[in-house]
Structures are given as structure tokens and as C-alpha cells.
Amino acid sequence: MSYHTKAQHIGYIRVSTVDQSTDRQLDSIYLEKTFKEKLSGKDTKRPQLQACLDYLRKGDTLHVHSMDRLAINLMDLQGMLETLTAKGIVVQFHKENLVFSNNTTAIDKLMLQIMGAVAEFERSLIKERQRESIATAKEPGKHIGRKPSLTDLQLEQANRLINEGIPKTEVAGRFGISRQSLYRNLTRLEAAQ
């Protein structure tokens, strides 16, 4: 690990999944070093976050796109900010337009708590909606997953043709589906009987 002696502008960029792009975070900010991560924020023991925290020195400014990129809950965020600012490191959140240092005012601390609490509340609402949607989808009579490729009537017709001795490949072709789709639908028919 290389260390530096003069104050630097350091960036920490995080997205939750490997499919997401880090390109737009901090793209217009001059940074001497950047730490990028594609991991969920639920764990504070993220490798690039730890490397970033180890690299930071007194006088540095840590640039982060938004508070939720650094920590997922208010307690972790406050703890990290207190540790960093006590070491003489400035932390700047660009989306919220907040800057924290060892000179942070009571108003700034209040804003952090309010915004952090709102972000946590939004996350809990999203999780609750997801749980409700899953529970609703699991109710009796509700179909989970993709829609069947054959209607119930088509499935009965296909089953009748198979019972008459017509090969399954030909039956599948008549309905414009693959043989595997036909098998899946036949399994659905068997489960319903």
C-alpha cells in the first residue's frame, strides 16, 4: 500500500451489483485516487472501502456521491463520519451537498441525522413492499413466475392429441411452442388433476 504525505482528493464509488455502472458517480470531480466497488452496502467490511479508509490521511477530502454509497444505515454512517473527521479528514457528499469535518456545525449533524433517517425509512418501505408483493403472489390461485405458454383450453387439446398417439414434437409444433414448453405445461396439467 502506497502512502501519501500531501492532502489529496480521494473518491469512493460503490454500486450494489456488477451490472450497474460506476461511470456517473463523481465524474466531474477532480480526484487523485479512486476506490471503486460493486457490492451491497449492507456490510461495512467491503474490501475497497477498507482500502480507502486505510489510505486516507489527515487533510484529505473523501468524496462520495451520496450517503447511501458509504453506509446503508444511519448508525454506521455516523460512526464512520466521526472516525474520519476526528482524524482530520473532510467528507463530502455531493448529491446531498453536505460537507463534514472536525468543524462540522450542529446544523450539519442534524441534517445528516434527518437525511440518514429518511434514507433508512425509504429502504425499509421498499423492503416491506417487496415482502407484500411476494406474499400476494403466493396466495392460492395466483401464478408465480412466467405465464404458461398454453391456455388451459390449449393444454387440454394438446393432451387429447398426445393421448390419440400423436408425437409430442408434432403436438408442440402445432401450438408453436418447444417440446420443453409442452412438457412444462403437461406437468402443470398433472399437478392440477
Query: Which residues have a catalytic role annotated?
Result: 16
Which residue's C-alpha cell is 412466467? 146
Q: What is the CATH number of domain 9-124?
A: 3.40.50.1390
Which residue's C-alpha cell is 405458454? 149
Query: pLDDT tens digit string along 125-135?
Result: 878 888 877 77
Query: pLDDT tens digit string along 105-117?
Result: 788 778 878 877 8
Domain ranges across the chain: 9-124, 152-192
Phi and psi (nearest 5°) for 38? Answer: -120, 75
Phi and psi (nearest 5°) for 179? Answer: -60, -40
Where is average pLDDT lowest: 78-92, 117-131, 153-167? 117-131
The gap between the terminal CA atoms of the chain, to the nearest Å, is 66
Q: Which three cell numbers stand for residue 121?
A: 425509512
What is the band of 104 on the pLDDT scale with cuts at 50, 70, 90?
confident
Select the more confidently predicted residue: 72 or 30.
Answer: 30
Closest CA to 66 of 110, 125, 24: 24
CA–CA separation, 150 and 156 (whole Å): 9
Select the more confidently predicted residue: 186 or 2.
Answer: 186
CA–CA separation, 94 and 100 (whole Å): 12
Averaged pLDDT, 27-49: 84
- Beta strand extents in 39-171 (DSSP E only): 61-64, 90-93, 98-100
Non-local (6+) Cβ contacts of 61 within 8 A are: 7, 8, 9, 10, 89, 90, 91, 92
pLDDT at 193: 65
What is the band of 10 on the pLDDT scale with cuts at 50, 70, 90?
very high
CA–CA separation, 62 and 49 (whole Å): 11
Cα 190 to chain centroid distance, Å, stands at: 38
For residue 1, pLDDT beyond 60: no
Contacts 24+ apart (CB under 8 A), 46-53: 46/14, 48/12, 48/14, 49/12, 49/14, 51/1, 52/10, 52/12, 53/80, 53/84
Name the average pLDDT for the chain: 83
pLDDT at 64: 94
pLDDT at 176: 87
Contact indicator for 64, 94 with CB cutoff of 8 Å: yes
